[in-house]
Amino acid sequence: MSEGLRALAVDDLPPALDELCRLLREAPEVAEVVAASDSLSALRTLQSDRFDVVFLDISMPGLDGMELASLLAKMSEPPVIVFVTAYEQHAVQAYDIGAVDYLLKPVRAERLSAALDRVARLLTTEDVVEPVPAQPDAMVALPVETAGRTRYVRRSEVLFAEAHGDYVRLNTRSGVHVVRMPLSRLEEYWEGAGFVRVHRSFLLSLGAVRELRSDSAGALNAHTDAGDVPVSRRHARDLRERLLDNARQAEAAQPRGRG
């Protein structure tokens, strides 16, 4: 797009909005920047004018960023959505809505440039641009709703995860926590952080495995402090190799005594 992008920046915090607008105006890919201090103002602006991309905060009073993005997705020609937020835990929902990128505050100029490049490529080609996969640290904790309260379960607490319909059961030493998410999506985010698929319905932390056991029928199970995890035959060899690699790495990391 040789004429440059028209961008709408939405944030209810003036300092954050000013900084985002400044970064966008300094970006060579952007021709024009309009600011909105809340979701309703942004919605009115988008109904009366056309923008290529909306940089959208999530936590805002009234209509939050996720709700606004869901409304924008129903437009006949919706703008590209890039979320800009201080909170890591909304990444899965953001990509499910169709966001092309997810920026964490404070936004770095080079990270913004990468997002703008993705937006421009999406608007100038017919190819589908896949969302940027979240880095492992972007899903370091998951929000769990219980009796009107939100608790964050850290990835390091989880020994294994089990698919349960539209939900995933996170098994920890302290108990079981349920989150609404496909197991395949959790695998996508956590496979780079020591988790491995061992069964159609189970994702296992390699560091949680105490031992491998075979039952009377010959089925393999991985024993953890939160219970046994079934290992399907198609995953058994890979699991053994991964555990062996982990053991070798741990051994190599041990300090060598002088003989």
Q: Which CATH number does the domain housing residue 109 bear?
A: 3.40.50.2300
134 assigned to some structural domain: no
- Return d(Cα 153, Cα 4) in angstroms, integer: 42
CA nearest to 195, candidates 249, 244, 155, 143: 155
pLDDT given for residue 245 in this prediction: 84
pLDDT given for residue 129 in this prediction: 43
In this model, does residue 97 exceed pLDDT 80? Answer: no
**Residues 161, 227 within the same domain:** yes
Q: Which CATH number does the domain housing residue 238 bear?
A: 2.40.50.1020
Q: Is the peptide bond before 106 cis (omega within 30 degrees of 0)?
A: yes
27 assigned to some structural domain: yes
Whether the Cβ atoms of residue 87 and residue 58 lie closer than 8 Å to each other:
yes
Q: Mention every residue, 6+ apart, whose C-beta is less than 8 A from residue 62.
A: 38, 39, 40
42 assigned to some structural domain: yes
75 assigned to some structural domain: yes
**What percentage of the chain exceeds 90 in pLDDT?**
44
Give 8-37 pLDDT, tens digit per residue: 999 999 999 999 999 999 999 999 999 999
**Residues 217, 186 within the same domain:** yes
**Residues 70, 95 within the same domain:** yes
What's the structural domain count of the chain?
A: 2
150 versus 23: the higher-pLDDT residue is 23
- What domain range is 58 assigned to? 5-124
In this model, does residue 147 exceed pLDDT 70? Answer: no
What does the pLDDT average to over 91-102?
75
Report if pTM > 0.85. Answer: no
91 versus 173: the higher-pLDDT residue is 173
Give 61-93 pLDDT, tens digit per residue: 888 888 888 888 888 888 999 999 887 766 667
Confidence of residue 139 (pLDDT cuts 50, 70, 90): low
